[in-house]
Structure 1
């Protein structure tokens, strides 16, 4: 938890710095900004690492809360199972979104594509 917390601080503040302070700031964030960012494998892995660490860190914290405030038994197992299911589902879905994101899908009408896509 301590190591993931420190790494998350670096990842989150780096994310905020690039998205909010560099260039035009928050006004530049749109579909094209995200598409351009995720075209670079460095930013894909940055966001994946941030996603995985945040979900694992948060899920482990929630597991600790469940351990602290419930008695061992069926309720505790159900709550821990629900946390595990949510964390795994969000990790899988988030990873799929980052690695399968295509801002320029083949066969789309040119007027619907972002300006950086080749027509």
Structure 2
């Protein structure tokens, strides 16, 4: 359906023309907590990412000093492992939650919505799993 504006018509998202009733049974607060998570994780991600970029790009020579040895020294510290792990997990969960909302808004078919969310969850688990594995099993003593 199109809405006329000054003699022209523009396509509107399907979700605006035929909004669906809220899903779920009863008194679920999932959407409220997902909304709150987005706000708090976004704030924390700003701190983590800006701190990461400042340390990587601005301090002590900037990008020129970034190499395998720098990463090895950084991940030798549990503090930096936890920093990077928190950044990875929050970014994945924050982005996945946002994409889940987009899927709910624009996927009209229940089966399509199910498969898109399944692919989303599987890819999130894979990225978080592999990333966590790399952070905690990184070996600076690689033999070539």
TM-score range, shorter chain: 0.7 to 0.9
TM-score by length of 1: 0.87
If you compute each CA radius of gyration, which structure gives the higher value, 1 or 2?
Answer: 2
Q: Which one scores higher on RCO, CA 8 angstroms, separation ≥ 6?
A: 1
**How far is 1:96 from its partner?**
0.2
Residue in 1 that maps onto 2:61:
24
Match of residue 60 from structure 1 = 97
Cα deviation for residue 72 of structure 1 reads 4.6
How many angstroms apart in 2 are the aligned matches of 1:72 and 1:63? 14
The unaligned stretches of length 5 or more in structure 1 are 113-119
Hey, what's the Cα distance between the residues in 2 that align with 1:51 and 1:26? 21
| Match of residue 77 from structure 1 | 114
Distance 1:72 1:34 in 2: 45
Deviations for 1:48-95, whole angstroms, at most 9, x for unmatched residues?
000000000000111000000012510000000000000011000000
The residue that corresponds to 1:98 in the other structure is: 135
Q: Which residue of 2 aligns with 1:115?
A: none
How many equivalent pairs are there? 107
Instruction: Provide TM-score, normalisation by structure 2.
Output: 0.72
CA RMSD of aligned residues (A): 0.9
Q: Tell me the equivalent position of 2:82.
A: 45
The structure with the largest helix share of the pair is 1
Runs of 4 or more consecutive aligned structure 1 residues displaced over 2 Å after TM superposition: none
Q: In structure 1, how many angstroms separate the alpha carbons of the residues matched to 2:109 and 2:138? A: 42
In the aligned structure 2, how far is the partner of 1:73 from the partner of 1:64?
14
Unaligned runs of 5+ in 2: 1-37
